[in-house]
């Protein structure tokens, strides 16, 4: 298995896709691909020549989101820096033919100079695609069918951050899951993927975080994995939002933020937390078999054992990739 570096070059107005890569035969349905691992089951080249560009197209505005791919279609978002309008475009993967474009009116607002109005990566399943956008006053989760028709839109509340929005949704079974953690009323929540109805939400005492959750499967049990500074690394029941276990592993001397997303390595769960000017940390925990039992010798919290921790030289914004 080989890591994938998405061959996407998104400047102010361009999206590039390259030919002759077996990786594109696979669906890439969410941020960092299947389960957020950043891995593809086929090999991918790491060097390209300009003559090998399969197709190139223009995009309205800019966007820091990644493309998602499903059933031969590429979906990509962008935002206009002046008006704040957001866009979703769909292209045919084979030749770059634009299938449709949808524009959503919005207002511009304060954000980090390196952020964009379209930083969250969409999520897609066999019936719908889901996009998340926010202003300080509202956070909108929108579902479109694969032909671009809006099916539902839900405002899940304000998003308070001078840095702007950047939280990517994921699809778990028949739910859309979002980690809405900011300087206001933070929570994890799940919406019905068909109707947008809120299935559950879990209020949090949390500051600003941008980590996108993943799913851990053990036997017939599945759980959502979240990371943040306040709770550490957590395993959550996707059906109810109840916390199965939590590992409080990050330093509490300074306020930190989880920007990179959690990843899995065998029976370990790996999370990153930090802040500019302070130490950045990478921690690996091993949840107990029961999920909510006693912690092991390297106690990190209810139902999890701290296996190892890197406290110096860790990246702040880069999500790890596990190979082998």
Q: In what order do the strands lie in the sheet with 221-228?
A: 214-218, 221-228, 232-236, 243-247
| Mean pLDDT value across residues 299-313 | 77
Domain that residue 218 falls in: 212-324
Question: What per-residue confidence (pLDDT) applies to 138?
Answer: 80
pLDDT over threshold 50, residue 231:
yes
Q: What is the CATH number of the domain that holds 276?
A: 2.40.128
Q: Which residue has the higher pLDDT, 163 or 240?
A: 240
| Mean pLDDT value across residues 233-248 | 94
Question: What per-residue confidence (pLDDT) applies to 153?
Answer: 97
Question: What per-residue confidence (pLDDT) applies to 163?
Answer: 65
pLDDT tens digits, residue range 62-113?
Answer: 888 889 999 999 999 998 877 878 899 999 999 999 999 999 887 776 665 6
H or E, element range at 269: strand 268-273
Question: What per-residue confidence (pLDDT) applies to 1?
Answer: 27
Contact assessment for residue 75 and residue 34, using Cβ atoms and an 8 Å cutoff = no
Q: Which residue has the higher pLDDT, 311 or 149?
A: 149
| Mean pLDDT value across residues 202-224 | 87
Task: With CA atoms as reference, report the closest residue to 150 among 196, 97, 92.
Answer: 196
Does 300 map to a domain?
yes
Does 134 map to a domain?
no
Question: What per-residue confidence (pLDDT) applies to 297?
Answer: 37
The per-residue pLDDT of the chain, averaged, comes to 81
Q: Which residue has the higher pLDDT, 55 or 291?
A: 55
pLDDT band at 277 (very low <50, low <70, confident <90, very high): low
Does 65 map to a domain?
no
pLDDT band at 10 (very low <50, low <70, confident <90, very high): very low
d(CA 91, CA 99): 5
pLDDT over threshold 80, residue 136:
no
Task: With CA atoms as reference, report the closest residue to 16 among 49, 65, 53, 47.
Answer: 53
d(CA 245, CA 227): 12
Max Cα distance, the chain (Å): 58
d(CA 109, CA 231): 29
Looking at mean pLDDT, say which of 103-112, 234-243, 272-281, 285-294 comes out highest. Answer: 234-243
The answer for 18, left when phi > 0, alpha when psi is -120 to 50, beta otherwise, is beta
Does 31 map to a domain?
no
Q: Which residue has the higher pLDDT, 44 or 218?
A: 218
Helix (H/G/I), strand (E/B), else coil: 36: helix
pTM of the model: 0.84
Question: What per-residue confidence (pLDDT) applies to 293?
Answer: 41
Does 48 map to a domain?
no
Contact assessment for residue 181 and residue 225, using Cβ atoms and an 8 Å cutoff = no
Q: Count structural domains, the chain.
A: 1
pLDDT over threshold 80, residue 31:
yes
Percentage of the residues of the chain whose pLDDT score is greater than 90:
42
pLDDT over threshold 70, residue 299:
no
Question: What per-residue confidence (pLDDT) applies to 302?
Answer: 64
Question: What per-residue confidence (pLDDT) applies to 112?
Answer: 59
Does 79 map to a domain?
no
Does 107 map to a domain?
no
Q: Which residue has the higher pLDDT, 169 or 299?
A: 169
Question: What per-residue confidence (pLDDT) applies to 5?
Answer: 34
């Amino acid at each position: 298995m080989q890591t994938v570096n998405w061959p996407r070059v998104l400047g102010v107005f361009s999206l590039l896709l390259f030919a002759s890569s077996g990786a594109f035969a696979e669906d890439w349905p969410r941020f960092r691909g299947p389960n957020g691992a950043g891995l593809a089951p086929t090999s991918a080249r790491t060097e390209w020549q300009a003559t090998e560009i399969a197709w190139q197209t223009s995009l309205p505005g800019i966007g820091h989101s990644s493309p998602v791919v499903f059933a031969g279609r590429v979906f990509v978002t962008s935002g206009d820096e002046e008006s704040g309008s957001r866009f979703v475009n769909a292209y045919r993967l084979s030749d770059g033919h634009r299938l449709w474009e949808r524009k959503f009116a919005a207002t511009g607002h304060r954000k980090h100079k390196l952020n964009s109005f379209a930083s969250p990566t969409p999520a897609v399943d066999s019936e719908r695609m889901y996009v998340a956008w926010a202003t300080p006053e509202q956070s909108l989760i929108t579902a479109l069918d694969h032909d671009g028709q809006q099916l539902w839109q839900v405002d899940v509340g304000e998003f308070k951050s001078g840095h702007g929005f950047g939280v990517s949704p994921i699809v778990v079974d028949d739910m859309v899951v979002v980690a809405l953690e900011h300087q206001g009323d933070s929570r994890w929540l799940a919406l019905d993927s068909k109707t947008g109805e809120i299935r559950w939400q879990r209020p949090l005492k949390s500051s600003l975080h941008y980590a996108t959750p993943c799913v851990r499967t053990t036997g017939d049990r599945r759980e959502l994995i979240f990371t943040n500074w306040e709770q550490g690394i957590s395993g959550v029941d996707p059906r109810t939002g109840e916390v199965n276990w939590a590992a409080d592993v990050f330093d509490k001397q300074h306020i930190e933020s989880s920007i990179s997303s959690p990843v899995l390595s065998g029976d370990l769960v790996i999370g990153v937390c930090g802040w500019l000017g302070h130490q950045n940390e990478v921690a690996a925990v091993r949840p107990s078999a029961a999920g909510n039992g006693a912690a092991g010798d390297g106690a990190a919290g209810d139902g999890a054992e701290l296996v190892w921790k890197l406290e110096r030289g860790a990246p702040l914004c880069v999500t790890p990739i596990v190979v082998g």
